[in-house]
Amino acid sequence: MNVVLWIGAGLLALAFLAAGLMKISQPKQKLAASGMAWTEDFSPGAVKAIGTLELLAAIGLILPAAFGIVPVLTPLAATGLVLVMIGAAVTHARRKEPQMIVANVVLLALAAFVAWGRFGPYSF
Closest CA to 85 of 102, 100, 101, 104: 104
The pLDDT score that the predictor gives to residue 111 is 98
Q: Which of 10, 92, 80 is nearest to 52 (CA)?
A: 80
Q: How many H helices and E strands in the chain?
A: 5, 0
Q: What pLDDT digit, counting tens, does each position of 57-101 carry?
A: 999 999 999 999 999 999 999 999 999 999 999 999 999 999 999
How confident is the model at residue 75, as a pLDDT?
97
pLDDT score of 67: 96
> Does residue 105 surpass a pLDDT of 80?
yes
- The whole-number pLDDT of residue 124 equals 77
SS3 82: helix
Residue 123 has pLDDT above 90, yes or no: no
| Distance separating alpha carbons of residues 84 and 105, to the nearest angstrom | 11
